[in-house]
Structure 1
Amino acid sequence: MSEHKGSTVSITGHRHTVAEEPVTSVLEGGDIPVNKGDHEWNADEEVLASLGYKPEFKREFTLWSTFCVSFAVLGLLPSFASTLYYGMGYAGTAGMTWGWLVAMVGIQSIASSMAELCSSMPTSGGLYYAAAVLAPPGWGPLAAWLTGWSNWLGQVTAAPSVNYGTASMILAAASIQNASYVPTNYQVFLLTVLLMIIHSVMASFPTRWIAQVNSAGSTFNIIALVIVIIIIPAACDRTAHGLSKFNPSSDVWGTIYDGTDFAPGVSVLMSFVSVIWTMSGYDSPFHLAEECSNANVASPRAIFLTSAMGGTFGWFLQLVVAYTVVDITAVLESDLGQPFAAYLNDILPQKIVIAVLSLTIIAGFAMGQGCMIAASRVTFAYARDDVFPLSRIWSHVNTYTRTPVNAVWLNSLVGTLCLLLIFGGELAIGAIFSIGACAAFVAFTIPIVIRVFFVGNRFRPGPWNLGRASIPIGAVGSAFVTLMVPILCLPSVTGRNLDPASMNWTALCYGAPMLGAVVWWVVDARKWFKGPKVNVEHLMLGRGGEVIEGKVVEGQVRGVSEGEVKGVGL
């Protein structure tokens, strides 16, 4: 790990200074970045330079606006509505109540460990950078490669999955208004693509505009969530079905719905796909760190708060639905094609159903926008290090907006292609939810596993850290993901009931691209991919304090035989 001591080094008559920064860097120990710009680095720029990168974005995100993007990506209300089919359908109300609490123990552990890594390495590369730096000698590039591709798969499927859920709710609202209308697959597809295009245009705008829009969207998300949590139990009319106002607690907490062919305990674990996918957006502050002021404190705080607040409010929403649902089977099999809309239609007057759906749709729109922004920053960061074919194109920062516009539209194209799964049926398109959950948590966990089991107490924490609890918390999170990844790939039916239409396609849709990435690594990428590439010029301290100047051109160190920047930093 590099430890920059705030040294002042003179070369060709100029003085180059980097303040002492608590960072874990890809630069070799003793390397000092060189400031050849027109102004002195501020604190955030010094931290970024210590990580090996020059500033390319305007730092117009604050703790609040960063949290807003993250909470918008989390999108509790639209996320819950989009994944109700799995949360309620696999294990019923038991999976929604105590199942959510069990899942949140593992999820909050992952979020806390990620926040600690972010404080030590606040760069857009995020988990990918952390995996490269923390891995044992010689393994950094491979760790970065696997983390990067898994994280990108999770990011690139986020916006299409969110927009698919939003489009489905819009058309379900139309069905409620006009009982003779039944949405078709091509209508869902076209509406979802339209949302993708709108979000791509919005994500291409300047950072300040994006921050303001997302602050408004996240504020609306929070307000809408509180309104829905209050209005559903207040306006619930279960008595029209000859039932009590609420379901008895013994049924809510103790009855596991027979939604899979597996044992009840496994069904509860399978229902966690709803929790995991809903709670997988808290990594966004990591990827926005280069656009956030006071990033090594504000960004990890935003990660931790997003997960903690999301978990709490999400559980309240789960309780509300669990205590008011009338007939789970009817909700899952409704002609409306959207379980949340069907659930609302069972217990609320039509005008209130439309009102709640409208709030959810607007919140879903804001969520899709946040997902598009976060994904574009991930794509930019990886393209900056030549992870993708034609990386030079995708890593270009628009000279007018100062945002990675090309990366936005690459993600939009890939996401639109993923939406073709709509024509394969409900379970086929459902794979993009499982892919997002599986891919994201694998990427989240790789650097945490390395930090816990390979680095241990040698880890250099940033200003926001977990102290002595760091390793135990990281171990809990790692164990949770190790358990859940195979569970996320299980189909809901087995034996003779299993056919292509009821198959869980997650293993194929996630496994095939990852297998392709592994094959690419073995055949070719290992020869040229060395992990994160720095793009600042830096000074390397040779034997006896000799100062050598390392020229960096587009991430390549030139003219120094033993000064190559490595993807390993211990």
Structure 2
Amino acid sequence: MATVPTTPRKRSVAEEPVTSVLPGGDVPFDPSHEFNPDDEVLAALGYKAEFKREFSLFTTFCVSFAVLGLLPSFASTLYYGMGYAGTAGMTWGWIIAMVGIQCVAMSMAELCSSMPTSGGLYYAAAVLAPPGWGPFAAWITGWSNWLAQVTAAPSVNYGISAMCLAAASIVNPDYVPTDYQTFLLTVLMMILHGIMSSLPTRWLAQINSAGSTFNFVALIIVIILIPAGTDRESRGLSKFTPSSEVWGTIYEGTVFPPGISVLMSFIGVIWTMSGYDSPFHLAEECSNANIASPRAIVMTSATGGIFGWFLQLVVAYTVVDIDGVLESDLGQPFAAYLMQCMPQKMTLAILSLTIIAGFSMGQGCMIAASRVTFAYARDDCFPLSKYWKVVNKTTQTPVNAVWFNCVIGILLLLLIFGGSIAVGALFSIGAIAAFVAFTLPIFIRVFFVGNRFRAGPWNLGKLSIPIGIVASSFVALMVPILCLPSVTGADLTLETMNWTALVYGGPMFLVTIWWFVSAHKWFKGPKVNIQHMMLGREGNVIDGKADGGHDSGSDALAPIGSRDKKDLN
């Protein structure tokens, strides 16, 4: 008797494109769990869903914009932007810097669409690296990114504490803040942010939506208030500085040629604009992540770039004396600038808006850092990782990772007692560490993977490689520039030294030594924590692939980065 062929039962893989990094596009399949499209995309990357997806495009953008914190970031880093190159570096210098930064953001967004996981850049570096180099690429990218993340909240909170105490000095000129008071106030903010960051995802989304909205509103108010409320004319000056001086005069804040001074001033832009990677780390908590998360990255960078430039312009056109701003007894350049060109009450109002926005920014930094720590601990990157990768059953958030980062951040704040140069290392390490981590997987994708890259639904198309080249070139130029001191020769002392190379290079050197001595033996890069089953069993058809279409050998379970290049790209 002839056998009548049966039509295989079909099982949907995803409504959205699944960008699996596993051989042949295999997707880990759990028959007891009904996968939604986001779960399926994450499963294609080798992970199971562990968070509630209660972030949307808007709320993800809100967290990212809060982490960006344009107003408090600008206020905290005014010393670099204004002090190295003056108003010229703040005007056309910002535009030049934003071209490179926007290229980095767009290339990052493309990676996020392809691999929307909390591991973010660390995961992408492992997947895209040449055969055998995946674990090492993940190790370097991960530690660099973690250094940027773990120093973000302490540096933000330190800047906000300095502003709070500067406001107190404005009200009472006899009051002189001490290092001890600054330390205690900053620690208090860290603890408050730790408590807030331990809340459930739904609450975090609402808190950060409110905080980001305030951040944006405060930024608009300040951009309008400064030119409208300046009292320069009552001090015998023109209402605004002439454009020829604003755009054409480069302040001699370094001993280097003017062009180099402008490039050195980019540390303020880079640190201010370093929060746009947050949607990548929140991808596992965002719905429609492989589209919403990359959009949030680009929206954050573009919005921050435009409104940050407006803020730079109003300050550049109203500053009275740059030397006075940098050398003020207030100890906070933004507060000193406001006192030069604004009435006291308006100065205090603007500082209050900045402080509240900065508190929200510190909260966003704490959240993003905890997700990075969780993702890396999930792959046993840290000592005692088994504790830091625990997801709290009540809040469904990585509470242990939050407090791990909080304690380390408080210990880093002891640098306050080493003086302004020592604590300033928190800002410099954040800028260079973030930039290196952002660009390493982009560099690998451009120069080692090329057109074999498996793009997600949000991609740059034919512009992908050119934009990636610009991003990589910009970072290659800026990394050594950010390490230059402002003075040389006999003037170069411990007090004037640029400690960036030491505070970033030192830990990264130790991490690299750790890799070659020990870590290469046990760290194999991102791992999967969902049991793999080869799809197409029992006559099922998945994505048009029939039963028996894949080999279930060990290659499918090999650590990412050690498989054949053709299987990964």
Instruction: Say whether the fold is shared (TM-score over 0.5).
Output: yes
Q: Are 1:61 and 2:55 matched, yes or no?
A: yes
Report the Cα offset of residue 414 of structure 1. Answer: 1.2
Once the two structures are superposed, what CA deviation does each residue of 1:311-330 show, in whole Å capped at 9, x if it has no partner? 00000000000000000000
The one-letter code matched in structure 1 to 2:533 is L
1:208–1:102 Cα change, 3 Å: same
Identity of counterpart residues, as a percentage? 74
Once the two structures are superposed, what CA deviation does each residue of 1:210-269 show, in whole Å capped at 9, x if it has no partner? 000000000000000000000000010112332111001011001111111211111111
1:73 is aligned, of 59, 67, 77, to: 67
- Work out the CA distance in 1 between the residues paired with 2:112 and 2:558: 21
Report the Cα offset of residue 368 of structure 1. Answer: 0.2
User: Counterpart of 1:448?
Assistant: 442
Conservation of the 8 A alpha-carbon contact between 1:18 and 1:33: no
Q: Are 1:428 and 2:422 matched, yes or no?
A: yes
2:509 is aligned, of 506, 515, 521, to: 515
Aligned residues: 548
2:522 is aligned, of 517, 528, 549, to: 528
1:478 is aligned, of 472, 476, 493, to: 472
- Work out the CA distance in 2 between the residues paired with 1:322 and 1:306: 23
- Work out the CA distance in 1 between the residues paired with 2:55 and 2:547: 39
Give the SS at the match of 2:533.
strand
1:497 is aligned, of 480, 491, 499, to: 491
Q: Are 1:295 and 2:289 matched, yes or no?
A: yes
User: Counterpart of 1:319?
Assistant: 313
- Work out the CA distance in 2 between the residues paired with 1:292 and 1:449: 27
Give the SS at the match of 2:301.
helix
Q: What are the equivalent positions in structure 2 for 1:277-426 lying under 5 Å apart?
A: 277-426=271-420
User: Counterpart of 1:556?
Assistant: none
1:480–1:416 Cα change, 3 Å: same
Once the two structures are superposed, what CA deviation does each residue of 1:54-81 show, in whole Å capped at 9, x if it has no partner? 1100000000000000000000000000
Report the Cα offset of residue 35 of structure 1. Answer: 1.6
The one-letter code matched in structure 2 to 1:567 is I
- Work out the CA distance in 2 between the residues paired with 1:449 and 1:463: 21
Q: Are 1:253 and 2:247 matched, yes or no?
A: yes
Once the two structures are superposed, what CA deviation does each residue of 1:440-465 show, in whole Å capped at 9, x if it has no partner? 01000011001111111111111111
- Work out the CA distance in 1 between the residues paired with 2:346 and 2:27: 61
More displaced 10-residue stretch of structure 1: 421-430 or 65-74: 421-430
- Work out the CA distance in 2 between the residues paired with 1:437 and 1:363: 20
2:28 is aligned, of 33, 43, 54, to: 33
1:566 is aligned, of 515, 538, 559, to: 559
Instruction: Give the CA RMSD over aligned residues.
Output: 1.8
The one-letter code matched in structure 2 to 1:97 is T
- Work out the CA distance in 2 between the residues paired with 1:21 and 1:331: 53
More displaced 10-residue stretch of structure 1: 353-362 or 497-506: 497-506
Give the SS at the match of 1:489.
coil
Conservation of the 8 A alpha-carbon contact between 2:85 and 2:265: yes
Once the two structures are superposed, what CA deviation does each residue of 1:430-486 show, in whole Å capped at 9, x if it has no partner? 111111010001000011001111111111111111110111001001000000011
Q: 5+ residue gaps in structure 1?
A: 1-7, 551-559
Conservation of the 8 A alpha-carbon contact between 1:25 and 1:133: no
Q: What are the equivalent positions in structure 2 for 1:47-126 lying under 5 Å apart?
A: 47-126=41-120
Report the Cα offset of residue 490 of structure 1. Answer: 1.2
Report the Cα offset of residue 428 of structure 1. Answer: 1.6
Give the SS at the match of 1:65.
helix
The one-letter code matched in structure 2 to 1:194 is L
Conservation of the 8 A alpha-carbon contact between 1:259 and 1:492: yes
Q: Are 1:203 and 2:203 matched, yes or no?
A: no
More displaced 10-residue stretch of structure 1: 509-518 or 94-103: 509-518
User: Counterpart of 1:18?
Assistant: 13
- Work out the CA distance in 2 between the residues paired with 1:217 and 1:239: 35
Conservation of the 8 A alpha-carbon contact between 1:23 and 1:461: no
Conservation of the 8 A alpha-carbon contact between 1:26 and 1:565: no
User: Counterpart of 2:564?
Assistant: none
Once the two structures are superposed, what CA deviation does each residue of 1:37-94 show, in whole Å capped at 9, x if it has no partner? 3x41111111111111111000000000000000000000000000001100011000
Q: 5+ residue gaps in structure 2?
A: 1-6, 537-545, 562-567
Normalising by structure 2, report the TM-score.
0.94
1:210–1:73 Cα change, 3 Å: same
Give the SS at the match of 1:32.
coil
1:272 is aligned, of 247, 266, 274, to: 266
Give the SS at the match of 1:500.
coil
